[in-house]
Amino acid sequence: MVARLPEYVGPHALGVKMGVIVPGTDIVQAVFDQLARCHADGLLEDGDIICITESVVARSQNNYVTTADVAAEIREKLQLEPDGRLGVVFPIASRNRFALVLRGFALALPRGEVIVQFSFPCDEVGNQIIDPGFAEALGKDLITMEDLEGRKFPHPITCIDYISFYRDIISETGASPRIILCNDPLRILDFEPDGVVAADIHSRVRTRAIIGARHPRCITLQDLCNSGEAYSEWGLLGSNISAGEKIKLAPRDGSKIVGELQRLVRERLGVEAEVLIYGDGAYRDPTTGIYELADPRPALAGTEGLRRYREGFKYKYLADYYYHEEGKSAAEIERLLQEKETPTCIGSQEACEGTTPRLMENIIASLADLVSGSADAGTPLVIVKGF
């Protein structure tokens, strides 16, 4: 039996190793088996939050499509001919997230044209597309390849010039590439596309509404690969490059999975816990300026108890208030804070506001992502305690 941490330890998270998950694995049973071990060792109790990374859930579901699948579906949904013209608006600059998706789009138009419209100077998650100083000096709201005069703009972290990289992906399929930089989504219509994909993530609904008001055929990434044998309710949002020409989709039916696991833990282990499936954390690196969240949201599915804002007292405010305004000693303040099990105000609503309003599922998913890490710590299961 593993000794429990002492009472003076606050919120913490434990990364749990599970071994390799492959297609066909019963992910609910696999996670439960590991949780049963944790419970036997005293590491699982009421109030815990069980977090499963989306990648192992999707892999267990064999939730993969190919670039050929993407090509066939976009041809059908946007009624594209092989020599047609497709507009792709505001994609993120990512080899992992978008390169194969773009290849699938281009395969649909072997004798046609793909027009990629980047936002600038950065994409929506902070990846630099073009040097901000150069763009400012250029002073144009629409930048074309002719304006760049063969200049290269390598990403400051990956060192990839995404303008050239995406252009080459399109060219390799036989389609003709055109890359433009503009922050007005309607400018794509200047190039008379037969169909448009609003390829942004978090602002996709607005982008589609703006373009869709002027063009009859405009869809988002969520409208592709959201039905069929392999699918996700998120469509191509949250997808990742896999082996060869395969694209791994986000998990499907996540709400069903977290509900089943919560029920198993309650019925077989007697533990009341919340469960979520997490993707990218919702944080921005202040050094690189990159916003990590390339998934549509941090928690792709979660049980009901997580769909609320985190609440609490501003302890730092209360400590100052009791000390400066009421002259309490440290021991008296400690006692008063311990008594505040239920929120009650002390003459000022400020005491009850807690921290900046954040959804619990977003906080927990971000914490779980940091624990498991993009570098992959081999811990696709994270148990968060003390929240």
Give 60-85 pLDDT, tens digit per residue.
999 999 999 999 999 999 999 999 99
CA pair distance 97, 218, nearest whole angstrom: 21
Rounded to two decimals, what is the model's pTM? 0.87
User: Does residue 7 belong to any structural domain of this protein?
Assistant: no
276, 127: one domain: no
Q: What percent of the chain has pLDDT over 70?
A: 90
User: Does residue 72 belong to any structural domain of this protein?
Assistant: yes
137, 233: one domain: yes
299, 194: one domain: no
First CA to last CA across the chain, in angstroms? Answer: 24
Give 151-202 pLDDT, tens digit per residue.
899 988 889 999 999 999 999 999 999 999 999 999 999 999 999 999 999 9
Total count of domains within the chain: 3
280, 230: one domain: no
CA pair distance 354, 315, nearest whole angstrom: 8
Predicted pLDDT of residue 344: 45
Predicted pLDDT of residue 375: 45
Mean of the per-residue pLDDT values of the chain? 90
Range of the domain at 300: 12-62+251-309+357-385
30, 135: one domain: no
User: Does residue 3 belong to any structural domain of this protein?
Assistant: no
72, 41: one domain: no
φ and ψ at residue 171, rounded to 5 degrees? -60, -40
> Contact 311/341 with Cβ under 8 angstroms?
no
218, 294: one domain: no
Predicted pLDDT of residue 245: 94
- Choosing from 225, 248, 271, the residue where a domain stops is 248
335, 209: one domain: no
Give the CATH number, domain containing residue 30: 3.30.1330.100
194, 170: one domain: yes
Predicted pLDDT of residue 355: 54
242, 158: one domain: yes
